Amino acid sequence: MKFGKEFVAQMIPEWQQAYMDYACLKTILQEIQTSRKRSDRSGALRHKQPVRRNFSGLTRRYSRAASSLELENQDILVTAMVGDDGFERYETTVLTVSEEWRESELVFFKTLDLEFDKVNHFYRSKVEEVVKEAVVLSKQMDALIAFRNKVDKPSSSWTCSETVAVDMNALDSKEHRNTLADEMGIKVEENGDLTKENVPETSSVLDRIRLNKTQETPLSRIRNVLKLSNNEELKFTKENLRKIEERLKNVLIVFYRKLRHLKNYSFLNTLAISKIMKKYDKTAKRSAAKTYMETVDKSYLTSSDEINKLMVRVEHIFVEHFASSNRTKGMNLLRPKVKKEKHRITFSTGFFFGCTVSLVTALALVVHIRNIMDARGHKLYMETMFPLYSLFGFVVLHMVMYASNIYFWKRFRVNYPFIFGFKEGTELGYRHVLLLSFGLGTLALAAVLINLDMEMDPDTKDYKTATELLPLFIVALVLAIIVCPLNIFYRSSRFFFLMVVFRCLAAPLYKVNLPDFFLADQMTSQVQALRSLEFYVCYYGWGDFRLRQNTCRSSHVYSTFYFIVAVIPYLSRFLQCVRRLIEEKDTSQGFNALKYLLTIVAVCLRTAYSLNRGNAWKIAAWVFSALATFYGTYWDIVFDWGLLHNPSKTLLREKLLVPFKSVYYVATVVNIVLRLAWLQTVLDFNFSFLHRETMVTLLACLEIIRRGIWNFFRLENEHLNNVGKFRAFKSVPLPFNYDEEEDSRCS
């Protein structure tokens, strides 16, 4: 792989704009090379002249005095200066340059200096952030050690200084003693003894801390509404200690990975500068790389050692306090696990895909050969068994669309695991999702074929009750796998899904995160699947399956829940928007809530019309469905996708991940067309060759496809927002809350 592609592949997606623009510099070098070739062909004389250029608004910090002999042996001179903002700036002076490619070389070094300044500035600002964070974590570790010793020795009156002194004397190496003392904020004398002044006693540390309640619950939300404190009482129990250790361990893991990212950022950009300078020397026939790299080596980007020191300290603390001094175990937890693609996943996915295609073909042949469409029991089958099996079709199609989303998110470097908040290394790839979807599809299609065969075979026709139970068996199996506590079938992902589903159902009582409203939006496109689940309850709960009859539609209870089930996903999103409106004071969430309220009214009116008919219901359904469609389409394109904000002629965003702009226009048109699928409900389009249930299923599938398209552009927009703010890490709550007033008095 060429370095340019490898450089892009190893970038942190959210920091992409802060890296060296390697591609731009390569383009300028190509211009220089073109100029050289043109000059060589023309045989023109190459006159060299000194060129000097200065940046305005900069104060020279130092100038490197160079003798005339030194300047003769150099092609460039790099000068470091300090700008008005206090950050270093670098200016390269080209000492000798040919007239033929003079402009290109000046542009090259001007661009290189600006890119180097950008990288240096960004790196320094991020290092300053993590240094401040390290100070906070140091205080958290002080509190943990005090808390741990209080739990282990509740009646002891030990002090922090005494405990650390024992740990220090146990260390053989002076370097290790200094490291641990530095971690604890304690001064070590030359002879290795500790100075015990300014070391707080345990009681003074514990008196100034409270436990943060990091996990929101319905009870904690009520306490917030009532303006009650959410800080947990400081109880010195082993259970509290276990929770604190787990929280602080996660904080240190995230912090360590920040440090790794910064170290990688420094290395990659330094390597990019080295590579581009070597290319420059080769293209321009010069020897400027060594001079420029000497300056890079002295810059903050390369010479700063804060990150390495912090990494050593974090490793030592983590191994000592969270891995029982087992360095191998500790480093395995700190370092991210590389997720390896397994061949058996690809093979199994292909196998089940082949099974799915084969079963679909076999089903079509059975229906055609046995002329099932014209059979006497066709209508009854479509009203009873078809809604049961269509549920699996909706789920499989949604999973296939989600797998496609994952594939394109990865292709265009959308950091979906970070956006969704998946635990590192546990996120499912598109192959895993396809494996699950085709596996479920194979199971459902096999059940359909078995059902048809047993119904049509005169020898097995008596086992109607058993055949009717096949769909229920598959649903029970899927639910059992989802809630299975064993570490099989991607347990982490299953539990994450269940947790988000619960938070959606309890929408007003939990702080709304992106996975919560994203899943709730998915459920709004699965209304027909939820109605299929309602039919399962009715068909099997009321005993209709024994006689294969459908008495559900004649029940008022079923009709009532037919409305309720359709409204639940939209109501969940409405409540989420209301909570965000109140909590975040974001007026746009109020308008978003109005969108879902309009949709709820439109869905109820269309459902009422489909059950009762009548002109009044039809007109009302028309009006509110049109309003909801216009409002929803506008919101999709402008707010969820972030399009139509650019005042330019393209009407798209300033930044686009997909290189083909036509994709965005096509997606917009498709979104509008598919949102108009409700017209069939009101206009009563009837096709003689399609049963009503088939038409309902096709319309539901179109909505699922629309949602799959929406997913890609919605997450693309979210990713670009994170990139714009350089947000590459989730904030992790700390276990302890220090009493700042007490701190200020002590200081």
- pLDDT tens for 125-177 read 999 999 999 999 998 898 888 888 888 876 554 444 333 333 433 334 444 44
Q: What are phi and psi of 415, to 5 degrees?
A: -80, 70
Please report the sign of the dihedral spanned by the C-alpha atoms of residue 60, residue 63, residue 68, residue 73: negative
How far is it, in rounded angstroms, from Cα 697 to Cα 694?
5
Q: How many CB atoms lie within 10 A of CB 742?
A: 13
Comparing CA positions, the residue from 693, 637, 687 lying closest to residue 664 is 637
Higher pLDDT, 298 or 612: 298
Which residues touch 727 (CB under 8 Å, ≥6 apart)? Answer: 14
Q: Evaluate if residue 424 carries a pLDDT over 90.
A: no
Q: Evaluate if residue 119 carries a pLDDT over 90.
A: yes
Check residue 46 and give its pLDDT: 45
User: Where is average pLDDT lowest: 212-226, 371-385, 493-507, 686-700?
Assistant: 212-226
Comparing CA positions, the residue from 414, 578, 576, 427 lying closest to residue 494 is 427
How far is it, in rounded angstroms, from Cα 211 to Cα 221?
17
Check residue 695 and give its pLDDT: 87
Q: Do 735 and 244 contact (CB within 8 A), yes or no? A: yes
Q: Evaluate if residue 727 carries a pLDDT over 80.
A: no
Which amino acid does the sequence have at 657?
L
Q: Do 122 and 728 contact (CB within 8 A), yes or no? A: no
End-to-end CA distance of the chain: 56
Helical H runs in 636-691?
A: 662-675, 679-683
Percent share of the chain, pLDDT over 90:
39
Using pLDDT thresholds of 50, 70 and 90, give the confidence band for residue 668: very high
Burial of residue 726 (CB within 10 Å: 0-12, 13-18, 19+) is middle
How far is it, in rounded angstroms, from Cα 725 to Cα 17?
10
Residue 450, Ramachandran bin (φ over 0: left; ψ between -120 and 50: alpha; else beta): alpha
The partner residues of 188 in beta bridges, in order of sequence, read 194
Residue whose structure tokens are 């099997």: 540
Q: Do 512 and 374 contact (CB within 8 A), yes or no? A: no
- pLDDT tens for 359-408 read 999 988 888 887 776 666 677 778 888 889 999 999 999 999 999 999 99
Mean predicted confidence (pLDDT) in 248-275: 92
How far is it, in rounded angstroms, from Cα 389 to Cα 693?
11
Higher pLDDT, 133 or 680: 133
Which amino acid does the sequence have at 173?
S
Higher pLDDT, 591 or 34: 591
Q: Helix, strand, or coil here: 49?
A: strand
How far is it, in rounded angstroms, from Cα 601 to Cα 608?
10
User: Where is average pLDDT lowest: 357-371, 511-525, 584-598?
Assistant: 357-371
- pLDDT tens for 41-97 read 665 444 444 444 443 333 333 344 444 545 556 777 888 887 766 677 888 887 766
Q: Evaluate if residue 712 carries a pLDDT over 60.
A: yes
Which amino acid does the sequence have at 735?
P
- State how far the alpha carbon of 475 is from the alpha carbons of 388, 399, 469, in Å: 10, 16, 10
Higher pLDDT, 57 or 666: 666
The partner residues of 179 in beta bridges, in order of sequence, read none
How far is it, in rounded angstroms, from Cα 170 to Cα 686?
85
Check residue 649 and give its pLDDT: 66
- Output the furthest CA–CA distance in the chain (Å, rounded): 106
Q: Helix, strand, or coil here: 610?
A: helix
Comparing CA positions, the residue from 43, 41, 45, 63 lying closest to residue 54 is 63
Q: How does the average pLDDT of the chain come out, rounded?
A: 81
Check residue 575 and give its pLDDT: 95
Using pLDDT thresholds of 50, 70 and 90, give the confidence band for residue 201: low
Check residue 325 and give its pLDDT: 87
